[in-house]
Copies of this chain bind each other. A is one copy, B any other.
C-alpha cells in the first residue's frame, strides 16, 4: 500500500480523500493554489504545497506543477478527485511514466471512455443497448440528414470529446440540423480541441440512471447498484438518490449486468460509473462512462457501507476486490448545495462565508469544505456542500434530509439549499414521480 499520496484537487473532494488517507494510515499531501491557501484541504492534509496561482490552468490543471509537487514530496500515488485532470488520459500516462500510481483507470481505458463515439461503438458491440444514432463521427451535414431520416427527430448532436453539456445541441428538423452539426463541431473544436460530433436520438422524458461499478486488476468486477440523477439543471445534478423509484428488481438486475458488460468492453479497472437513459416505457440505453469518483458517490457508500475512495486507492495499489456481490440496505438521498442564486438564474455567488451551520444527527452526513471565514472563489466550482441522508427506507431518508436542509445555514453567499428543500418536500419527489421536467416546477418563472 502507498505510504504517501498526493491529492490533485481541492474543495470537498480533497477533504474526502484526506479522510480516506487518514483512515488508511497514508500520509496525505495537498496541493493548493494561492487562492486556496486557507482552504480546508490545505490545512487538514498532513502536508501541503503551493503549486500555482488561482487560475486552475496554472495550478490544479497544471500537469508539470502537479508532477513536480509529487516528486519533491516523495508521493507514490496521485488521486485526481473529480473534474480537473481526473479523466485525462494524458495526465494518467504521464503519472505512470514518472512512476507515480494514478488512482483511476489505466490511460487506454481513459482514452476510450473520453472518446464518446468510439466508446459507444465498443459498448454496443458488447451487446449493450445504446441510444439509436450515427454509427460514428458525422463527416458532413448531408450525412447527418440521411441518418436523421432513419432515426427521426428530435436528435441530439454531441461532441465526441464533450462533457457536462458542452458541445451538445438538440435538433428538431432538417433545416436546423445542418446548422447545429456545423455549430457543435466548431464549438467542440474550440472547447475540446476535437471537432468530431455524432448524433443520438433525443429520448423524451428519459430518466438519468447510473450504475456504480468497482473492478480490480484481476478481472473481478462488481455492481454496487444504481443512482437516480434525473433532477439536473443544465447537466448540473441537484438531487441524487439510491435506490431509484424507477427500477423494478428485474430491471435493476438487467441494467446492472449491462453496466458490467459495458465496463468489461473497455477494460475498465478501478471505480467508475456507467450512465444510462431510461425511457418512460422502460427501455434503457447506455450513454457514457464517468471514469472517476463521482460527486454523488456518497449515497452509494451510505447504503452499501463500502468506502469508495478507499476502494479506489486499494484497487490502484493492486489489491483485489474482497466481495463478488453487495446487497445495498435502506435508502440514501443527496442534495447538492451550490453557491448560486436560484432567483437570479443561478448566477454564481462568490464571497466570504462569515458564519455557517452544518447540520448533523442520526443518518446525516455532510461532505463539505466550508468553515466560517472561507472564501468561495469565483475561480472554482460553486459546490458548497453535499447533504446526504440515509434511512431504512426512502420515506425516512426524505424526512431526515428535509430536517437537515432546514438546518443548513450560511451567510455571505446565496445558495441553493432552499430550492433543494422545496424539491424534496414536494409531492412529486415524495411520490417518486421523478422526471426531467420536475425541476421546472420549482424554478422562478422567467417573466
Contact = CB atoms under 8 A, between A and B. Distances in A.
Interface of A: 15-16, 19-20, 22-25, 44, 298, 301-302, 305, 307, 329-330, 355, 357-368, 371-372, 392, 399-400, 402-403, 406-407
A360 to B, nearest CB: 6
15 contacts: A19-B359, A19-B361, A19-B403, A19-B407, A22-B402, A22-B407, A24-B399, A44-B407, A298-B362, A329-B329, A355-B372, A358-B358, A360-B367, A361-B367, A365-B365
Given A23-B400, A392-B305, A403-B19, A366 B360 contact: yes
Contacts of A403: 19, 22-23
A298 B371 CA distance: 25
A362 B362 contact: no
Contacts of A368: 360
Contact of A307 (B329, B330, B362, B371): B362
Contacts of A400: 23
Copies of chain A in the complex? 2
The listed residue with most B CB atoms (<10 A of its CB), out of A361, A367, A406, is: A361
B357 A330 contact: no
A330 B24 CA distance: 18
Contacts of A19: 359-362, 403, 407
Nearest to A355: B372
Top 4 closest pairs, chain A to chain B, by CB: A22-B403, A19-B361, A23-B399, A23-B403
A227 to B, nearest CB: 16
Contacts of A392: 305
B305 A330 contact: yes
A79 to B, nearest CB: 15
A374 to B, nearest CB: 11
Nearest to A358: B358
Contacts of A301: 362
B355 A406 contact: no
A44 B359 CA distance: 10
The listed residue with most B CB atoms (<10 A of its CB), out of A360, A364, A399, is: A360
Nearest to A360: B366
A239 to B, nearest CB: 18
Nearest to A389: B23
A307 B400 CA distance: 11
A77 to B, nearest CB: 18
A24 B403 CA distance: 9
Contacts of A358: 358, 360
Contacts of A407: 19, 22, 44
A371 B357 contact: yes
A407 B16 CA distance: 12
A44 to B, nearest CB: 7
A113 to B, nearest CB: 26
A39 to B, nearest CB: 13
A411 to B, nearest CB: 13
A361 B358 CA distance: 13
Contacts of A20: 361
A16 B360 CA distance: 9
A365 B388 CA distance: 12
A360 B362 CA distance: 13
Given A24-B399, A403-B22, A406-B22, A361 B372 contact: no
Given A19-B359, A360-B368, 6 more contacts: A15-B361, A19-B361, A301-B362, A329-B329, A357-B371, A360-B366
Contact of A372 (B302, B305, B365, B372): B372
Contacts of A367: 360-361
Given A305-B392, A400-B23, A361 B365 contact: yes
Nearest to A21: B403
The listed residue with most B CB atoms (<10 A of its CB), out of A19, A24, A406, is: A19
